[in-house]
Amino acid sequence: MQDMTGVVPVTSMPYSQFKEHVGEQVAIKGAIHNIRDMSDFAFIIVRTARELIQCVYSPEFSDYRLTPDVVEQCSAKVTGKVVPSETRDGSERYELQISDIEILSTPAAIPPVVISKKQVTCDLATNLDYRPVTLRNPKERAIFKIQEGIQRGFREFLTKQNFTEVHTPKINFAGAEGGTNVFKLDYFGKTVYLAQSPQLYKQALVPVFERVFEIGPVFRAEHHDTSRHLNEYISMDFEMGFIEDFTDIMNMETGALQYIMNLLKTEYAPEVELLKVDIPEIKTIPCVKFKDAKALCMKKLKNITDMKDFEPEEEAFLGKWAKQQFGSDFLFVTHYLSAKRPFYTMDDPEDPEVTLSFDLLFRGLEITSGGQRIHDYNMQVEKMKKLGMNPDEFETYLMLHKYGAPPHGGLGLGLERLTMHLLGFKNVRYATMFPRDINRVTP
Ligand code: AMO
């Protein structure tokens, strides 16, 4: 064996370099995505990591003759001459005139769903049942390339703002968010819980790094089947110390979203174009207090029963209102009721009925919760007791407060929810690679 050099030679020419190789023989590797036989010639579309490349077979181009083992979904190395394509709109495209196809692997069966058309047309359940296959369709794939861009933007922006990326445990001694939607786990005879969020740990890391973020899975035992809840989702969290007040968190999120949208426009243009993504312009994001937003909803909507939180139709209404009133796709709602926020949330000293917290709505859907946390030990212990919690069970969490923590706050942003509304989906499962819901743990 040779020594490893650390260099993996490029054996497949990226489409972006075709332009510089017109008239030359190049090789690409990918899956045969689609074959259109036109009797005396054939279009063979090759699916590479990010592109569909049109290749043309004709006996006129070389001595190579198409063989029956060239079938859709086989992996192949296709060699040919780069030539400009004829396009209907006159746009600049290139294709390969095939001079050889080397088969690298042969599928054992024909895919159970059609994936070589512009989009997968089967119903959502079938799409999800065959996810390893349906994801190969370029439009399905593009959803998750965009999702990658969102995470990348979040990571890049926060790294530039001096945040440290961390990973916190997913097997926990307590549920961080309260409520009953927590998965219990038998841990060598002891009951432990799957993390509902990294909340308790990201706070613990503020006195260590001052600013931290995490992108990772969290688990919610949602007992109902809705279009916006998953049992496992990716939470993009950050937590920062030495804040002046909770608007610092909202400003930081505004910056992160501006950065993400810009990154999608510039570096994810092929997917943005393919999915016709309506990227929101974010100059500033308007804010409204919960109490005022509620009053507005009560005036305009009927049959609202929950006075302490928003129902989905209220969020949808507020989304439209923000668009009409401020031309904004986003709306911060602040000062949620103390009764509805978790134990770690700081109450407003001027009105303890409400908290120094916020949600961010995006096109009428909550995508973020956040706010200022309690940093004082006695205040946190008192609040726990008031809520019927036993502070002794949170001894390790309370080390944060006991041994000194700066004023701090943070947020959690649901990756699938943001993707869902960015791409205009009605169901969060379309924006989830392998969704986990009450009825689904496979594939
Ligand atoms: P919260 O519980 O509001 O806050 O969650 C934050 C964001 O996570 C997303 N989300 C979900 N997405 C899909 N399926 C679910 N079941 C689901 N539940 C929540 C939403 C939501 O806005 N620790 C706090 C955040 C913080 O204050 O830092 C928390 O987890 O987009």
pLDDT band at 337 (very low <50, low <70, confident <90, very high): very high
Who has greater pLDDT, 178 or 134? 134
What is the pLDDT, as a whole number, of residue 176? Answer: 85
The ligand 1 atom nearest the CA atom of 357: 27
Contact 362, 409 (CB under 8 A): no
Among 201, 219, 369, 437, say which to mutate for ligand 1: greatest number of ligand atoms within 8 Å of CB.
369
Cα of 29 from ligand 1 centre, angstroms? 41
pLDDT band at 179 (very low <50, low <70, confident <90, very high): confident
pLDDT band at 39 (very low <50, low <70, confident <90, very high): confident
Residue of the CA atom closest to atom 4 of ligand 1: 369
User: Which residues on neighbouring strands pair with residue 358, listed in sequence order?
Assistant: 334, 370
Residue of the CA atom closest to atom 18 of ligand 1: 229
- For residues 115-135, average pLDDT: 97
Contact 430, 439 (CB under 8 A): no
Q: 194 vs 217, 248, 268, CA distance in Å? A: 10, 30, 34
User: 80: which DSSP letter?
Assistant: E
60, containing H or E segment: none
The pairing of strands 171-172 and 190-194 is antiparallel
User: Which residues on neighbouring strands pair with residue 408, listed in sequence order?
Assistant: 241
Q: What is the 3-state secondary structure (H, E, C) of 387-413?
A: CCCCHHHHHHHHHHHHCCCCCEEEEEE
Cα–Cα distance for residue pair 398/385, rounded to 1 Å:
13
Among 213, 233, 238, say which to mutate for ligand 1: greatest number of ligand atoms within 8 Å of CB.
233
Residue of the CA atom closest to atom 23 of ligand 1: 199
What is the pLDDT, as a whole number, of residue 193? Answer: 96
Write down the mean pLDDT value for the chain. Answer: 97
Residue of the CA atom closest to atom 12 of ligand 1: 414
* Residue 197, ligand 1, Cβ within 6 A: yes
Cα of 369 from ligand 1 centre, angstroms? 6
pLDDT band at 282 (very low <50, low <70, confident <90, very high): very high
